[in-house]
Structure 1
Amino acid sequence: MASLAFLRHLVQFHPLIDNHAHNILDRESATDYDSYPLEAITSEAHGRALQNAHTSLPLTRATSQLAELYGSPCEGWADILSARDQSIEQDYDALVRRCLQGTHMLLLDDLLTDEDVETFDWHDRFTVSKTKRIVRIEAVAASLLRQLGSGERKPGETVWSIFRSQFQNALSEAMEDAAVVGFKSVVCYRTGLDVDPYSSDDATLAASLIRTLDSGTTKSGYRVEDKPLNDWLVQQTLKAITFRKRSGVVKPLQFHTGLGDNDINLLKSNPACLQPLIAQYSDADIVLLHSAYPYTREAGYLACVYPNVYLDLGEVFPMVSREAQERILRESLEITPTSRLLWSTDGHFHPETFWLANRQFRQALETVLVDYVQNRDYTVSQAMRAAADILFNNSNRLYGLKQTPQYAPGNVSQLSLAKEPKLSSVSNKFDQFLLAHPDVEYIWMQWIDYTATVRVRMFPIREFARIAQSQRRVGISLAVFRMLQDDFVTTEGSTTGQFYLEPDLDSLYPNGAMVSPAAPSATVMTFWRSETNDPMDECPRTTLQNIVNKLYVEHQIDILCGFEIEVVFLQLVAPTDEATGRTTAYRPATTNHSWSQMTSETRRMVPLLEEVVRTLASMGIELQQFHAESAPGQFEFVLPPASPLKAVDALFAARQVVVAVADRHGLRATLHPRPIPGSAASAAHVHLSIHPPTRQDAFLAGILSHYSAVVAFTLAQNASYERVKSGFWAGSEWIAWGFQNRETPVRKIGPGHWEFKSLDGLANPYLAVAAVLAGGYLGLKVDMPLTIQDCTVDPSTLSPSQRTAIGITTPLPKSISQSLAALEIDEALQGLISPKLVQSYLIVKRTETERLNSMPEDQRRLWLIERY
């Protein structure tokens, strides 16, 4: 189980998204304390009132902490200013970088001022991801009014009609701008938060606009503070947000609430005033900024009872005392779901505002969450999830940022766990995974043998941490190299010696709902290492990665790979034989079933299908589509493209989810090529693309010239060859290719992009993809010409002379024995894959074939259904 030490570490070092801040001063203005007094970092006061801040607890506390930031002993405020001036003089960028350490992304309201500050994209150099904009609607309106005051009007146009059109256009442009992720209103400062949810008539609005124009000049500017016009700006923004949300564009509206400088009406800064507006625009996401202090409870209530409201916890750090900060957090958590809480610094002008806010917030959050854990209000895992959500996940989701947290080097790679000295240091990748998935208790280490059987060892999280740190090794008998699905070892096999599993931390996936209701766990794939810790030639994952690396190093070619999972869902229809313990019969889960149709029976399968999709999404695997396939009970799930190793890792994770979810619904999910005799077959088609595609012909030529041997890995059992037939859209019977032709084994889709149809769920896909890529590499190595021409029909329908005319001369193997024979004589392919691996593979597959052929057909089919 996760400990308090992990919780403390997460709170202090988890990357954060600052969902509301402002621009930092340029270097020349940073020490202009007359225009930008440093005391303002802890107070909203101005002028003479700001001088009183020197005796406030927030500034006293900040003095001590800033001395630490500058690395200089400071007795008082004068020493702080001196140390700061020195830091800026030495390296202003370095100071900014220290102040923004741990900040993954900034969302800036960059219209606070356009003088003396850096542009919003200047801040990119100090954060992991590029800065995004929050558009202040009153500033947009003021800019339009300045133009309107000096512009000319066309006949029939009124000032109001022009302004209305221009403001609505400005909203539309902001909606289309990818750099803009939200809007902000300061109506709280202007006329208060009691915004009328309904627009006034045009005459009233036109009069309000005229009063606003009369109050300013094109030189001095126009401050929008007439209530009908101010309310209209808010209403129009919420209408635009609601309208665009229907098309998938989500950009929330932030409201300044609570404390501010002395031109605010404190009573009307209570977010409770917004309740009618929130209810009226229930589809528009609304963020209540600045903890709404001193109205935190009111804001928390709104975020609790309205699904479109979020509470931001910013600005009070570092504006109030430590006790007040902790109290504000507790009040926020009284009834507000942690999924509705966001973090921001409200940092502005001085970079220290960011540093102090982040430091003090992390301190307060740690104190409050640890207290809740010790009082058993939260488990450690629940508290860690709450912290990660508040700091990062909620903003990432709300603003559609699509970010993955990245940790600063040195912060996460060395966990300092005083209470758990045996777990003092784990790898950075494992740390990141634990922080993102704090509830995981067990790790499943998996490897895939030559029969495509998934084998697993399970470890408690602390023991796996030792494995990840190379403090211990996991040995596996070398008998695995010559072992069948039922643990039978071939006569050539040996139980002497062992290899070692090395976890590939890039392949960590949370098992999520896959193993519910068991304790939370995760899966990791492994590489095989020798006694001397060298990579082993016999390892399928190492083999695949080696070939991918050779293609890049020697030919500067990158590979993308994506899989389709075709699966048949079956129901048990005959009881288990008590004497043998074997299942006796299955039938398809649906029979009123056809390709890409929603029949009455397939509709009943939708909850299962959607559960698969949701489970995979929770693991970080976003399916591209899913639909009914042709055979009874058959469905297809399309995985996203990735690098070959990651794509195969994701394929196994997805397959295991499909099987587990089906099992929870009382069904058996099988990858058997044809579990229902006479029905359409199941495959595991793989899409491959090479980048750049400039040498695509040589790459394809190499694959086709070695295709008979390649299919020994892709069509790995005799049952697989039931698909090597014409008329099934499965690639027909000849080695050929065709543009968008599903009756050739290779379908070309675009430049350097092909679908390979000669692959199913009985194959080890690491070896299958390695074999295809090996053929492509061999073609590139000799710059092989592509002699087989584009075939536009099923090659089996052509006469021998017609096939020969377009270079189609070789039939596909019709059995595993034929393809293994082709592999045995293909020395070039063997040499690239690994002679040792191929030797073991040939022995295993021939022994497997002999044992399967000895079974009656029905028994053999059931035997495979139970295992694949």
Structure 2
Amino acid sequence: MVDLLPLVDHHCHGVVRERLDRAAFESLLCEAAAPGRWHGRLFDTQVGFAVRRLCAPVLGLEAHAAPDEYLDRRAELGVDEVTRRLLAAAGIAEFLVDTGFLQGALTTPDELAAFSGGAAHEVVRLESVAEDVISGHNAAAFAPTCRARLVAASRTAIAFKSIAAYRVGLGLEADRPSDAAVFTAAARWSAEVAAGKPVRLHDETLVRFLIWTAVDLGLPIQFHVGLGDADTDLHRADPLLLMPLLRATADRNVPIMLLHNYPFHRHAGYLAQVFDHVFVDVGLALQNVGGGGAARVLAELLELAPIGSVLFSTDGCGLPELFHVAAVRFRRALAVVLDAESAEGNWSRADARRAARMIAGGNAHRAYRLGPSAPPTD
């Protein structure tokens, strides 16, 4: 029921183009920055074990091949062939690609689509646009230039994304900031950049300005929620902090996409139930918590989240292995959850099949207006 469904990966990044040594490969496996003195190699994580178990056979090795044997085979095949094999095996038909991270170091949406044989669409990161604008414009030009850039992006992009959770936290004020407040904040930021500080948006007023500009343009808006690397203050990444903003945007016909969500996935499921415009996933979590944990986490999300609000994502970034592991873990987890509900008589088999199609791709087609997909009825 689940294994053959084409997937829509509604949040991912590109993959690296060059050959990686072991340290570089491991640094991309999970949220740790690199193998360390104390925790040792990152192949000894749930996602590291999953790569050796699930990806090794796709590359012509025995399951659980040793890390060095796996990396030698990877080098033998070459980056392009490894990427083609793993993306094809993942069964992902469409990719929604956040292009605002590691710009220039990762494949573009078109390149990712060429490797997979599927389709790809760009997701524009709001903070990246603002950082590019502040580098070349004064405070007076900041707001109109950002608006113009986002209007232009909205003609080709499928969605916008905010990493407010990383920069200012999700406890955002709900109101649209005034022009005067935006000018003052932009002037302050411009002065910091001129003084030699990093070009990094960390002003709550400007983040809200970007979000409301995106709301005006009508495309779905993604928010990073929950786990991330050590740059995240996790207590500020709880989706419940977004409730004022969710109330303020409830009547704007703009889907709000809550990404990742773990360990706050039950909170996210609640928000998806009470706000019709909220969509949720547990991408990134499923490959990191391991096989048994993946089904548990997905079941916990579905305790409250309506079936029509749940999406699939990989958060694949850098390594094509992450796309494959995420897809396999998701398919298995979803099958376990749906089979359990059906076996207990809670759902009919027809309901389970319909839910599988909706979560695998049908909901993403509706929310992102990707065009027709298989109908969610029998």
Following superposition, the deviation at residue 215 of structure 1 comes to 3.6
Residue pair 2:358, 2:376 contacting (<8 A) in 1 also: no
* Correspondence 1:104 to 2:81: no
Following superposition, the deviation at residue 32 of structure 1 comes to 4.7
Matched to 2:165, the amino acid is C
2:16 is matched with 25
1:147 is matched with 136
Following superposition, the deviation at residue 116 of structure 1 comes to 2.6
Cα distance in 2 between the residues matched to 1:336 and 1:313:
12
Alignment of 1:17-166 (within 5 A): 17-26=8-17, 29-34=18-23, 36-41=24-29, 43-47=30-34, 48=36, 51=40, 53-73=42-62, 74-88=64-78, 92-101=79-88, 102-148=91-137, 159-166=138-145
Matched to 2:155, the amino acid is E
Matched to 1:199, the amino acid is R
Alignment of 1:212-231 (within 5 A): 212-216=189-193, 222-231=199-208
Residues 1:33 and 1:112: Cα distance change in structure 2 (over 3 Å):
farther
Residue pair 1:105, 1:128 contacting (<8 A) in 2 also: no
Cα distance in 2 between the residues matched to 1:302 and 1:68:
39
Following superposition, the deviation at residue 96 of structure 1 comes to 1.9
Matched to 1:354, the amino acid is F
Cα distance in 2 between the residues matched to 1:437 and 1:115:
39
Following superposition, the deviation at residue 119 of structure 1 comes to 2.2
Residues 1:380 and 1:206: Cα distance change in structure 2 (over 3 Å):
same
Alignment of 1:570-589 (within 5 A): none
The total of aligned residue pairs comes to: 371
Query: Could you list the runs of 5+ residues in structure 2 that have no partner in the other structure?
Result: none
Between Structure 1 and Structure 2, which shows a larger proportion of helix residues?
2
- Residue 231 of structure 2: which of 263, 268, 280 is its match? 263
Matched to 1:11, the amino acid is V
Following superposition, the deviation at residue 136 of structure 1 comes to 0.4
Cα distance in 2 between the residues matched to 1:235 and 1:267:
24
Following superposition, the deviation at residue 438 of structure 1 comes to 7.0
Following superposition, the deviation at residue 404 of structure 1 comes to 4.3
Residue pair 1:38, 1:350 contacting (<8 A) in 2 also: no
Residue pair 1:17, 1:344 contacting (<8 A) in 2 also: yes
Residue pair 2:31, 2:228 contacting (<8 A) in 1 also: yes
Following superposition, the deviation at residue 357 of structure 1 comes to 0.6
Query: Could you list the runs of 5+ residues in structure 1 that have no partner in the other structure?
Result: 1-9, 149-158, 242-250, 406-435, 440-868
Alignment of 1:466-485 (within 5 A): none
Following superposition, the deviation at residue 222 of structure 1 comes to 1.1
* Correspondence 1:167 to 2:146: yes
Secondary structure of the 2:366 match is helix
Secondary structure of the 1:345 match is coil
Larger radius of gyration: 1
Matched to 1:113, the amino acid is L
Residue pair 1:189, 1:263 contacting (<8 A) in 2 also: yes
Identity of aligned residues (%): 29
Residue pair 1:20, 1:108 contacting (<8 A) in 2 also: yes
1:364 is matched with 333
Cα distance in 2 between the residues matched to 1:115 and 1:32:
19
Higher mean displacement: 57-66 or 224-233:
57-66
Secondary structure of the 2:149 match is helix
Secondary structure of the 1:135 match is strand
Following superposition, the deviation at residue 396 of structure 1 comes to 0.8
Cα distance in 2 between the residues matched to 1:129 and 1:99:
13
Cα distance in 2 between the residues matched to 1:348 and 1:330:
25
Following superposition, the deviation at residue 120 of structure 1 comes to 1.9
- Residue 6 of structure 2: which of 5, 10, 15 is its match? 15
- Residue 313 of structure 2: which of 341, 344, 353 is its match? 344
Cα distance in 2 between the residues matched to 1:109 and 1:218:
30
Secondary structure of the 1:205 match is helix
Matched to 2:67, the amino acid is W
Following superposition, the deviation at residue 366 of structure 1 comes to 1.0
Secondary structure of the 2:8 match is strand
Residues 1:217 and 1:391: Cα distance change in structure 2 (over 3 Å):
farther
Secondary structure of the 2:94 match is strand
Following superposition, the deviation at residue 217 of structure 1 comes to 5.6
Residue pair 1:19, 1:395 contacting (<8 A) in 2 also: yes
Secondary structure of the 1:310 match is strand
Residues 1:218 and 1:81: Cα distance change in structure 2 (over 3 Å):
farther
Cα distance in 2 between the residues matched to 1:253 and 1:50:
36
Residues 1:204 and 1:304: Cα distance change in structure 2 (over 3 Å):
same
Secondary structure of the 2:371 match is coil
Residues 1:437 and 1:389: Cα distance change in structure 2 (over 3 Å):
closer
Cα distance in 2 between the residues matched to 1:403 and 1:98:
27
Residue pair 1:197, 1:235 contacting (<8 A) in 2 also: no
- Residue 384 of structure 1: which of 348, 353, 359 is its match? 353
CA deviation vs aligned residue, 1:189-242 (integer Å, no higher than 9, x gap): 00001111113444443332233234436998611012222222222222332x
Cα distance in 1 between the residues matched to 2:194 and 2:58:
44
Following superposition, the deviation at residue 265 of structure 1 comes to 1.1
Residues 1:51 and 1:205: Cα distance change in structure 2 (over 3 Å):
farther
Cα distance in 2 between the residues matched to 1:127 and 1:438:
28
Cα distance in 2 between the residues matched to 1:209 and 1:33:
42
* Correspondence 1:324 to 2:324: no
Secondary structure of the 1:287 match is strand
CA deviation vs aligned residue, 1:541-593 (integer Å, no higher than 9, x gap): xxxxxxxxxxxxxxxxxxxxxxxxxxxxxxxxxxxxxxxxxxxxxxxxxxxxx
Cα distance in 2 between the residues matched to 1:437 and 1:299:
23
- Residue 256 of structure 2: which of 261, 286, 296 is its match? 286
Residues 1:437 and 1:329: Cα distance change in structure 2 (over 3 Å):
closer
Cα distance in 2 between the residues matched to 1:255 and 1:294:
15
* Correspondence 1:374 to 2:343: yes
Residues 1:171 and 1:82: Cα distance change in structure 2 (over 3 Å):
same
Cα distance in 2 between the residues matched to 1:39 and 1:77:
14
Residues 1:213 and 1:170: Cα distance change in structure 2 (over 3 Å):
same
Residue pair 1:195, 1:273 contacting (<8 A) in 2 also: yes
Following superposition, the deviation at residue 437 of structure 1 comes to 7.0
* Correspondence 1:315 to 2:284: yes
- Residue 271 of structure 2: which of 296, 302, 305 is its match? 302
Cα distance in 2 between the residues matched to 1:274 and 1:147:
31
Following superposition, the deviation at residue 145 of structure 1 comes to 1.1
CA deviation vs aligned residue, 1:691-727 (integer Å, no higher than 9, x gap): xxxxxxxxxxxxxxxxxxxxxxxxxxxxxxxxxxxxx
Following superposition, the deviation at residue 287 of structure 1 comes to 0.3
Cα distance in 2 between the residues matched to 1:297 and 1:370:
21
Matched to 1:208, the amino acid is A
2:212 is matched with 235
Cα distance in 1 between the residues matched to 2:173 and 2:376:
44
Residue pair 1:183, 1:253 contacting (<8 A) in 2 also: yes
Following superposition, the deviation at residue 174 of structure 1 comes to 1.9
Alignment of 1:363-762 (within 5 A): 363-404=332-373, 439=378
Following superposition, the deviation at residue 363 of structure 1 comes to 1.1
Matched to 1:213, the amino acid is S
Matched to 2:258, the amino acid is L
CA deviation vs aligned residue, 1:792-819 (integer Å, no higher than 9, x gap): xxxxxxxxxxxxxxxxxxxxxxxxxxxx
Residue pair 2:46, 2:287 contacting (<8 A) in 1 also: no
1:814 is matched with none
Cα distance in 1 between the residues matched to 2:80 and 2:196:
35
Following superposition, the deviation at residue 176 of structure 1 comes to 2.2
Residue pair 1:239, 1:281 contacting (<8 A) in 2 also: no
Matched to 1:378, the amino acid is W
What TM-score, normalized to structure 1?
A: 0.41
Residue pair 1:20, 1:106 contacting (<8 A) in 2 also: yes
* Correspondence 1:187 to 2:164: yes
CA deviation vs aligned residue, 1:150-175 (integer Å, no higher than 9, x gap): xxxxxxxxx33311001111121122
Residue pair 2:362, 2:373 contacting (<8 A) in 1 also: no
